[in-house]
Chains A and B, each alone.
Chain A
Amino acid sequence: MNKERTRVLIVDDEEIVRESLSGWLEKDGYTVETAEDGPTAVDKVNRATWSVMLIDMKMPGMDGLQVLDRVKQIQPNVTAVIMTAFATVDTAVSAMKLGAYDYLVKPFDPEELSMMMEKIVAQQALVRENVILRRALKREFRFRDLVSKSTAMQQVFNLARTAARSQSTILVLGESGTGKELMARAIHSESPRAGGPFVAVSCAALTESLLESELFGHERGSFTGAFQRHKGKFEAAQHGTLFLDEIGDIGPKLQADLLRVLEEKKIQRVGGTETLDVDVRIIAATNRDLAKAVADGSFREDLYYRLNVIPVVLPPLRERREDIPLLVDHLLEQLSVETERRIEGVSHEAMALLMNHAWPGNVRELRNVLERAVVVAAGSVIQATDLGLHKPDAAAPEESIATLESVERRHIAHVLEQTGGNVTQAARILDIDRVTLYNKIKKYHLRETETA
């Protein structure tokens, strides 16, 4: 308990009440101030943070309930206690509905007051402890803006941290909405290049010729509309990181150009003759199966191996459902700031719905759902109806009737696929030893499946 940290504001129109009550609480070690009416109290709440407010119910002008209402809008976390000599169930209920912690019927026993204050101090200490623990937990479970406590993602974070320190090219793989760009930004900011620029280019958004000009720049007059010299993204990312999103969508010419840059670390602007040295670290990302694209000839094998020096595979949200509560908490914190709405969390029913959704759009979809919910929610807690998600059909998506063994089989097959059949790496990701993994591969006939 830390009473000195507990700042108490007493709001009462009677001077003798303010004087005697503040004297009583000061002797207990609390830091106390007083206000003689509602407007003065609101002004003090606007100017400083209070832990506890003792508010008289009956005051001229603004009464206690009106003060409470205003105060809760300014400082929702303040613990407010209503003091009333006119105790009725109605006023007590009204005060509690407005967020009062408790009410005291004047005159109250010294014991009642001291016990209540001690309870408040203890509760606030717990809240503070909880905030500190949650922050510590978040620090433990995050890699910059990526939040996860799942074993698979923690291993991805560890790999990404190690990769960040190297100069190697990194290929970030994962479905849409899994946070590939966030991962690239996190790697950049943890790398020795953090002081340099991070430049992101979406390779799917432009035609091949425009993308070429965008990446390498162009000289004046090199093509119709090129009125002046334009520096490309490679130059813009000098001494930093160039993030090439949706790399799987680039055409054969650009694939060749990119391969040359990666090997020679030199570029030429479109229409130019000058060769420029570039010191840029490439992080590429795609949601496409590049190995398959190589197999069918649509993506150069040499470029694939040049990009895929360190593959970082982001699992889809449906495979790390334990992260959903953590992500909801994190995203609501962000959205509360962005929308200037105070959202405390989601109801149990809403959380159950979020946990059961398939999330084909991954974390991005979750963010969009929550953003909508924050806008439409009537109160400070998001209800299931605010989410705009349908309850899982009782007649059964496959997920809900899958056996534990079938889920395990699919998951192991997926991890093996991601590691290119590397059992040691897969065992590390799955957090089991190699012998156990070999036994499961045998049990589920996964080698036969692969070779079939």
Chain B
Amino acid sequence: MAAIYLWWIGADAADRDLLEQVRQQVGRTFEAPAVLWDDPSRPTGTYDTRRGQHSSTQILRWLAAHQPPGAMKTLAITDVDLFIPVLTFVYGEAQLGGRAAVVSMARLGDGTARVSPAMVSARLVKEAVHELGHTFGLTHCGSERCVMTRSVNMAGVDRKAAVLCADCRTVYRDRLLEGYDQ
């Protein structure tokens, strides 16, 4: 099985410990090798000056065109705020059944003492697994505890676990048989 690549494309320097936590959970959840990809390239033309945010759809386009060699899936991780044109923000976006996904840390903490770094990292792990789940063809799950449940606020993110529910795991394994790991 080819590997899942995690690529830091943030504006600031990468937090290696944080990325390592994401890598380990991604590898466990998808039962696949997960590796960190160090590359200084960054997507261009994704910043919207009027909104002061980056277009996640544009980032996905760039990422799809810049897949690391041999990557099965690539998840870009960033610290910039993401949007899709009709929505005020998104935590992340992924190509459903495709190869590219992106997740942002920008809204995972509100900068107060109430949100610890541990909580931010737990949230990032969940959203990273969630977006990668979409690249394997998984859609949103009705189970509130499943990592594939849709989260539109922090409370929703905190409620869910970092793992696939039994149903989604079954679907995931079916997707592998259908060649979603090619």
Bound-complex Cα distance A111 to B88 (A): 10
Contact A21 B152 (CB under 8 A): no
Q: Is B87 an interface residue (CB 8 A)?
A: yes
Supposing A23-B96, A29-B139 touch, asked if A114 and B152 sit within 8 A by C-beta, the answer is: yes
Chain B residues, Cβ within 8 Å of A106: 85-86
When C-beta atoms are compared, the residue in chain A nearest to B131 turns out to be A27
Contact with A along B15-29 (1 / 0, CB 8 A): 000000000000000
Supposing A17-B86, A20-B57, A107-B85 touch, asked if A26 and B139 sit within 8 A by C-beta, the answer is: yes
Min CB distance, A311 to chain B, in Å? 59
When C-beta atoms are compared, the residue in chain A nearest to B91 turns out to be A110
Q: Is A109 an interface residue (CB 8 A)?
A: yes
Chain B residues, Cβ within 8 Å of A111: 152-153
Contact A109 B86 (CB under 8 A): no
Min CB distance, B157 to chain A, in Å? 12
Min CB distance, B99 to chain A, in Å? 14
Contact A107 B55 (CB under 8 A): no
Contact A14 B87 (CB under 8 A): no
Q: Is A132 an interface residue (CB 8 A)?
A: no
When C-beta atoms are compared, the residue in chain B nearest to A19 turns out to be B57
Bound-complex Cα distance A29 to B56 (A): 20
Q: Which of B72-106 contact A (CB under 8 A)?
A: 83-90, 93-96
Q: Counting chain A CB atoms within 10 Å of each CB, which of B84, B85, B86 scores highest? A: B86
B-side binding surface: helix, strand, loop or mixed? loop
Contact B93 A23 (CB under 8 A): yes
Supposing A20-B57, A29-B139 touch, asked if A114 and B150 sit within 8 A by C-beta, the answer is: yes
Min CB distance, B90 to chain A, in Å? 7
Q: Is A86 an interface residue (CB 8 A)?
A: no
Contact A107 B96 (CB under 8 A): no
When C-beta atoms are compared, the residue in chain A nearest to B98 turns out to be A23
Chain A residues, Cβ within 8 Å of B145: none
Contact B83 A16 (CB under 8 A): no
Total B residues in contact with A, Cβ cutoff 8 Å: 23
Supposing A28-B139, A28-B150 touch, asked if A108 and B86 sit within 8 A by C-beta, the answer is: yes
Supposing A27-B96, A28-B150 touch, asked if A113 and B87 sit within 8 A by C-beta, the answer is: yes
Contact of B88 among A19, A29, A107 (CB under 8 A): A107
Supposing A20-B56, A20-B57, A26-B96 touch, asked if A14 and B85 sit within 8 A by C-beta, the answer is: yes
Chain B residues, Cβ within 8 Å of A23: 57, 84, 93, 95-96
Q: Is B160 an interface residue (CB 8 A)?
A: no
Contact A24 B85 (CB under 8 A): no
Q: Is B134 an interface residue (CB 8 A)?
A: yes
Q: Is A83 an interface residue (CB 8 A)?
A: yes
Q: Is B121 an interface residue (CB 8 A)?
A: no
Q: Counting chain A CB atoms within 10 Å of each CB, which of B55, B57, B84, B87 scores highest? A: B87
When C-beta atoms are compared, the residue in chain A nearest to B133 turns out to be A27
Bound-complex Cα distance A113 to B152 (A): 10
Chain B residues, Cβ within 8 Å of A24: 84, 87, 90, 93
Contact B152 A16 (CB under 8 A): no
Bound-complex Cα distance A264 to B13 (A): 107
Chain B residues, Cβ within 8 Å of A20: 56-57, 84-87, 93
Supposing A16-B55, A17-B85, A20-B86 touch, asked if A110 and B152 sit within 8 A by C-beta, the answer is: yes
Chain A residues, Cβ within 8 Å of B139: 26-29
> What is B's interface to A at a CB cutoff of 8 Å?
51, 55-58, 83-90, 93-96, 134, 139-140, 150, 152-153
21 sample A-B contacts, Cβ–Cβ < 8 Å, listed by A number: A17-B85, A20-B57, A20-B86, A20-B87, A20-B93, A21-B84, A23-B93, A23-B95, A24-B84, A27-B94, A27-B96, A83-B86, A104-B86, A106-B85, A107-B51, A107-B88, A108-B87, A108-B88, A110-B88, A110-B152, A111-B153
